[in-house]
């Protein structure tokens, strides 16, 4: 109650300060112009819908590929050393390069090679880069999860004659995933925004549409429209992540003390 | 009598710490061998070596007369013939009792689901756990969890069972139900190696008792001999401590 009241007061004060400032009329004209907003909204929404689709396709691929990478990395013994080393090198390299640089490299670089049978669409390479980059990060999330499962579980699984891969698949990974769901959800929020980076390849997603409009009209309202759309999706996911994490923590406490 | 398991000159070290020193042991078919000795003497390590969960440094382990510690041997195939039960139960918490039991038969031995289900039901019935078939492990008492762990190991129809202090994590009133299960297995002729602190149980059930001390089998004989007439001062000392603690 006190929290709600004080929040309202603070917001009201901030709004009053902004709206009464000398600069406000200019700001409103440049960023919050209703006419411009109406004009740009359909294009930005259309572009944003592409953002959403890119996000969905990429996320599904990332969750699968990252899990495979993490499982390979969790294999033990000298026989798997080459495979394991390959995965570690891949993850280190990808994580060591700014994602925007990867997008430029793959998105402009590979189509420029004009290889036969290799796609040249910037959309394809934009999404592919996001998948590659996020898979490397997400593999590390899974790895932390797998390592958090007690060693005795692996031993029990192996003692029943399960191979390493089967022990991972049936025993370790299901427990690991439960432990890292909050971290995976955080990854969702992050990717949902980073899909906009492919605008640099000229893909006409939400931010690109806003940029095109601004270049034409010298008015920034289009960027505000895009901002609103991204917030509409990412804030609820962030709230959900918090809610889930909290519930999970309480459940673990209940089990721990029961 | 045929020899089921044979260890000869087995040596195992973790880094610089030698945990098993030239261990020799023969376990005959249908025989129960109990391993006793203070904590840290190497009982768990010995069992894990037999099960190939821990690679040995030198020596040999034979199972049914063939060497299983050779690098060319696939450990998964050997483990399919043995069951091990651990002190901490180690049930899979994300699976029900039924799923825990069916995992190895279906995913390792290729038994079809219906048959594995029936086998699991039969075993649970025998061990008085049929009403727990759909429970998750965290809903069971320690004794029930440990009996499920035994059933899970038996579901692969092992020829040898290894028990590693399976009652040490249990409340005293639950110990008997688990020991009863092991006695039952002896009556059915199961070959077993049992690491235990329950001297009364070892005296009743074992065919041979081995006293381990700092990675060496210091003394080995029938329970009657070992408990009433121990030859080594260290064995006498160990047994005296057990008697003083009121556990024999
Ligand atoms: N994985 C391991 N790494 C290092 N040392 C170990 C490991 N497992 C056991 N040991 C050591 O080996 C010795 C014997 O342990 P263990 O076989 O568990 O004895 P017991 O079961 O008789 O209590 C102990 O000193 C223990 O610290
Ligand atoms: Mg032990």
ipTM of the complex model: 0.92
The pLDDT of residue A196: 93
Q: Domain containing A83 — which CATH number?
A: 1.10.3720.10
Q: What is the pLDDT of residues B76-92, one digit of tens each?
A: 999 999 999 999 999 99
Interface of chain B toward chain A, CB-CB under 8 angstroms: 51, 53, 76-77, 79-80, 82-84, 86, 88, 90-94, 103-104, 107-109, 138, 152-153, 156
Per-residue pLDDT in tens (0 to 9) along chain A, 258 residues: 788 889 889 989 888 888 888 888 888 888 888 888 899 999 999 999 999 999 999 999 999 999 999 999 999 988 899 999 999 999 999 999 999 999 999 999 988 888 888 888 999 999 999 999 999 999 999 999 999 999 999 999 999 999 999 999 999 999 999 989 999 999 999 999 999 999 999 899 999 999 999 999 998 999 999 999 999 999 998 899 889 888 888 887 776 543
Q: Is B92 in the pocket of ligand 1 (CB under 6 A)?
A: no
CATH code, domain with B192: 3.40.50.300
Q: Which domain holds residue A91?
A: 35-249
Question: CA A44 to CA B247: how far, in whole Å?
Answer: 79
Residue B26 is predicted with a pLDDT of 96
**Domain around B233:** 3-244
pLDDT for position A19: 85
Question: How many CA atoms, within 13 angstroms, populate the side-chain half-sphere of residue B150?
Answer: 29
Strands across the sheet with B3-14, in order? B17-28, B3-14, B58-63, B66-67
Q: Are A54 and A93 in contact (CB under 8 A)?
A: no
Q: Are the C-beta atoms of B131 and B58 separated by less than 8 Å?
A: no
- Residue A15 located in a structural domain: no
Of the candidates B181, B189, B213, the residue with the CA atom closest to the CA atom of residue B28: B189
Whether A115 is covered by a domain: the verdict is yes
Written as six digits, the tokens of A249 are 């923590």
Of B161, B166, B120, the residue nearest B32 (C-alpha): B161
Strand locations in chain B (E): 3-14, 17-28, 32-36, 58-63, 66-67, 82-85, 160-164, 191-195, 208-213, 216-221
- Give yes or no for residue B16 CB within 6 A of ligand 1: no
* DSSP codes, A138-151: HHHHHHHHHHHS-H
Rounded Cα distance between A237 and A245, Å, is 12
| Predicted pLDDT of residue B244 | 85
DSSP annotation of A171 reads I
CB of B196 shorter than 6 A to ligand 1:
no
pLDDT at A258: 39
pLDDT tens per residue across span B126-164: 999 999 999 999 999 999 999 999 999 999 999 999 999
Q: Considering only CB atoms, which chain B residues are within 8 Å of A174? A: 94
Task: Pull the structure tokens for residue A146.
Answer: 């797998």
What residue owns the CA closest to ligand 1's atom 24? B40
Residue A138: inside a domain: yes
Say if A170 falls within a structural domain.
yes
Q: Give domain status of residue A256, yes or no.
A: no
User: According to the model, what pLDDT value does residue A245 have?
Assistant: 86
Cα distances (Å, whole numbers) of residue B14 to B31, B42, B216 = 30, 11, 15
Q: Are B144 and B129 in contact (CB under 8 A)?
A: yes
Output the pTM of the full model. Answer: 0.89
Cβ atoms < 10 Å from Cβ of B184:
13
Q: Is A59 contained in some domain?
A: yes
What's the number of domains chain A is made of? 1
**What φ, ψ does residue B4 adopt, rounded to 5°?**
-90, -50
Q: What is the pLDDT of residue B172?
A: 86
Per the structure block, which two tokens stand in for A252?
A: 């673990």
Domain count, chain B: 1
Question: Looking at residue B43, what is its pLDDT?
Answer: 97
pLDDT at A22: 84
Quick: pLDDT tens for A165-222: 999 999 999 999 998 999 999 999 999 999 999 999 989 999 999 999 999 999 899 9
Supply the Cα-derived Rg of chain B in whole angstroms.
18
Residue A14 lies in a domain: no
State residue B248's pLDDT score: 67
Averaged pLDDT of chain A: 92
């Amino acid at each position: 109650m006190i929290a709600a009241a004080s929040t309202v007061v603070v917001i009201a004060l901030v709004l009053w300060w902004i709206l009464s400032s000398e600069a406000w009329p200019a700001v409103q004209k440049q960023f919050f112009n209703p006419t411009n907003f109406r004009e740009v909204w359909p294009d930005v929404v259309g572009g944003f819908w592409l953002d959403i689709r890119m996000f969905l396709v990429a996320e599904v691929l990332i969750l699968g590929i990252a899990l495979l990478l993490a499982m390979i990395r969790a294999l033990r013994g000298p026989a798997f050393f080459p495979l394991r080393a390959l995965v570690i090198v891949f993850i280190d390299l990808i994580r060591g390069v700014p994602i925007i640089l990867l997008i430029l490299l793959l998105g402009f670089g590979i189509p420029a090679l004009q290889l036969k049978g290799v796609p040249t669409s910037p959309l394809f390479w934009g999404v592919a880069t996001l998948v590659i980059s996020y898979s490397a990060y997400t593999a590390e999330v899974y790895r932390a999860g797998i390592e958090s499962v007690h060693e005795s579980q692996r031993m029990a699984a192996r003692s029943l004659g399960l191979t390493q891969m089967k022990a991972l698949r049936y025993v370790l990974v299901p427990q690991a995933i439960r432990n890292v769901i909050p971290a995976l959800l955080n990854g969702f929020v992050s990717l949902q925004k980073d899909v906009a980076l492919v605008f640099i390849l000229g893909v006409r997603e939400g931010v690109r549409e806003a940029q095109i409009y601004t270049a034409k009209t010298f008015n920034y309202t289009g960027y505000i429209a895009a901002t609103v759309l991204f917030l509409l999706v990412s804030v609820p996911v962030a709230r959900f992540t918090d809610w889930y994490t909290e519930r999970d923590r309480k459940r673990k406490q209940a089990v721990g003390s029961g | 009598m045929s020899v089921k398991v044979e260890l000869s000159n087995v040596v195992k070290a973790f880094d610089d710490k030698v945990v098993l020193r030239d261990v020799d042991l023969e376990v005959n078919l249908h025989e129960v061998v109990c391993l006793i000795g203070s904590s840290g003497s190497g009982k768990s390590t010995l069992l894990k070596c037999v099960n190939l969960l821990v690679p040995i440094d030198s020596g040999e382990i034979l199972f049914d007369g063939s060497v299983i510690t050779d690098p060319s041997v696939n450990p998964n195939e050997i483990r399919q013939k043995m069951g091990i039960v651990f002190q901490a139960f180690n049930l899979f918490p994300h699976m029900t009792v039924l799923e825990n039991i069916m995992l190895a038969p279906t995913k390792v031995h290729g038994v079809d689901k219906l048959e594995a289900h029936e086998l699991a039901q039969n075993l649970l019935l025998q061990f008085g756990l049929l009403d727990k078939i759909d429970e998750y492990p965290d809903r069971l008492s320690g004794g029930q969890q440990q009996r499920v762990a035994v059933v899970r190991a038996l579901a692969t129809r092992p020829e040898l069972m290894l028990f590693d202090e399976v009652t040490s994590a249990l409340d005293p009133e639950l110990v008997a139900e688990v020991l009863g299960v092991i006695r039952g297995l002896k009556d059915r002729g199961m070959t077993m190696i049992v690491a235990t602190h329950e001297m009364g149980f070892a005296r009743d059930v074992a065919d041979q008792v081995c006293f381990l001390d700092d990675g060496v089998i210091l003394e080995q004989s029938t329970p009657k001999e070992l408990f009433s007439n121990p030859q080594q001062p260290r064995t006498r000392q160990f047994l005296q401590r057990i008697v003083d603690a009121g556990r024999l």
